Every structure is written in C-alpha cells, then in structure tokens.
Structure 1
Amino acid sequence: MKMISLPRTLSVLMLLFLSAVSTAAHAQDKPNYAYLGLEPDIVTNFVGPSAKKLGFVRVTIELMIADAGQLEIAEHHMPLLRATALEIFGQQPEQKVRSMTGREDIRLAVLKALQTHMKQETGAEIIKNVIFTKYLYDT
C-alpha cells in the first residue's frame, strides 16, 4: 500500500476545490433563457395587391426571455406584447409579408417594439429575441 503525503493530499484537495469553485462561477455566467409563446397565434389582415383585397397572415411567435427569473414579468405584460405584434403585422404591405427579407424585417421590428415597450413598462428590455415558429400567409 502506497502512502500519500499530507502536503500532496492537501494540494490535490485544493485543486479539486478551486476547480469546483471555477465551474460554479462559470455556470453563473451562462445565460438562463426562458421561452414564452404568444398564444393564440397572431392572425391579422394586411393590405393585398389592391386596396379592395386584403390578405391574412398567421404567425406563431415564441419570445426568448433574457432571464428565466423575468418570465413572470413577461407573462404579466402579455396583452401589451400581443397587441404590439398584431399592430406591426397589420401595418405590413403584401410584398414585405411574402418575402424572406421582409419577414426578417418584420421580426426585427417586432423585437425592437417589444423591447421598447418592456423597457418603458419595467425598466428592462426583458425580451432577448423573437422567433417565428410558424408563418403562413395568403392574399
């Protein structure tokens, strides 16, 4: 049986302790995102190719919340979040709704508007990102 010296044992224990502390500190640096769906789907009209014809869009939106601890705050403001998304989609022309670049522009507009509203209401942006998980349209 091999004997391990006390100083060596202490050194090994100290390394294990420092490694655990470093891992715990590093874990705290990782984002703690949460996701919240705007339910039901956003369904609204947009102006079609002529003023006489309306198109419609149906979008499922998931909100990435910057911190899971802010999820309850975002849920509390759900009516404002939904109304903002509906308003933005309702203002879009057909060519923007139908194109991939337009869709991205709309997504960014929704994100910016939601962040602005949350900043005004809570003092923090809270919304990290907006994800369209379903995007259907018809004219």
Structure 2
Amino acid sequence: MIKLFKQGIMATLIALLAIAPVRAEDPPPAGPSVTYTEMRPAFVVNYGGPGRLKYLKADITLVTSSSDATEAAEHHMPLIRNTLVTLLSSQTDEAVTTPVGQEQMRQDATQAVKELFQQEVGHPVIDDLLFLNFIYQK
C-alpha cells in the first residue's frame, strides 16, 4: 500500500510538472546599435609640404549610434571628405610614420568631423572615426 501511495504521488508530480506553464526568459535589453559607414573611395593625398612627393592612402570608417546619425553622415559626406582631405594632406612625416602620430591624427580627424557636424546640424553626429587601412610612401 505504501508503494502504491508513493507511485501515485510520483505520477501526480510528473503530471503537474508536465502541464505547468513554461516561462520564457526575457531577452536581454538591446544595447545601442552601432553602424559603421565606410567612406569610399579611399583617401589618397600628398602630404609633407615642399620637396619630394609623399603619398598617404587611408580607408576611413565613421562610427554612428543611430539611424538618424548615419543618414546625416551620408548626407554630409562631401563636407566630411573635404575636411579629411585637408587634414590628411597637412600632416608631417612624424605624424604619418609613427604609431603615436597616427593615433593623434585619427583623434584630430574625429574631432574635426565632430566640429563640422556641430556647425552644420548642432550636434556631433559621429561617435568615432577609424582608420581601417593606412599606407604611406615617402
């Protein structure tokens, strides 16, 4: 009789577990969406002032965190390109050929584009600017 009682309780527990509602876990909240906008074609400029011609080629990508920011960046692409061509062509050998100089150039380019957007639309628009490929010839 005790054995039959244990089997009955066990069957009841299994039945309850089988029909109990399953609660799905809530998905984690979506973080800010980041968009990478490649600037094509690559930038190819002369740098270094008078004397022998020196070349710099840079593939640049803009980082934005909203679709509105991405649209604004694409709309103002000619202004961005002009600003970056001017900045890249005014660089020195030290800025182009050393890792520290290249990082400073990237930060300067980011700041220049943010200032451009501050003037044009009233806020910085981009979050960052990345050099994906950076080649120079002295």
TM range (shorter): 0.7 to 0.9
Residue of structure 2 equivalent to 1:123: 122
Residue of structure 1 equivalent to 2:74: 75
Q: Which has the larger radius of gyration?
A: 2
Superposed CA RMSD: 2.1
Letter of the structure 1 residue corresponding to residue 74 of structure 2:
E
Secondary structure of the 1:127 match is coil
Where do 5+ consecutive residues of structure 1 fail to align?
A: none
After TM superposition, the structure 1 = structure 2 runs for residues 82-101 of structure 1, keeping only pairs within 5 Å, are 82-101=81-100
In 2, distance between residues paired with 1:93 and 1:54?
12
Does the 8 Å CA contact 1:33/1:68 hold for their aligned counterparts? no
| Structure 1 stretches of at least 4 aligned residues deviating more than 3 Å after TM superposition | 1-4
In 2, distance between residues paired with 1:32 and 1:120?
25
After TM superposition, the structure 1 = structure 2 runs for residues 22-101 of structure 1, keeping only pairs within 5 Å, are 23=27, 26-27=29-30, 30-47=31-48, 51-101=50-100
In 2, distance between residues paired with 1:121 and 1:82?
15
In 2, distance between residues paired with 1:94 and 1:104?
14
Secondary structure of the 2:128 match is strand
In 1, distance between residues paired with 2:67 and 2:35?
5
Per-residue displacement from partner, 1:76-114 (whole Å, max 9, x unpaired)?
A: 000011111111101111121111100001000000000
Over the matched positions of the two proteins, sequence identity in percent amounts to: 26
Secondary structure of the 1:31 match is coil
Secondary structure of the 1:53 match is coil
Residue of structure 2 equivalent to 1:104: 103
Deviation, structure 1 residue 52:
1.8
The number of residues matched between the two structures is: 124
- Per the normalisation by structure 1, the TM-score is 0.78
Where do 5+ consecutive residues of structure 2 fail to align?
A: 1-11
Per-residue displacement from partner, 1:52-85 (whole Å, max 9, x unpaired)?
A: 2121100000111122342111100000111111
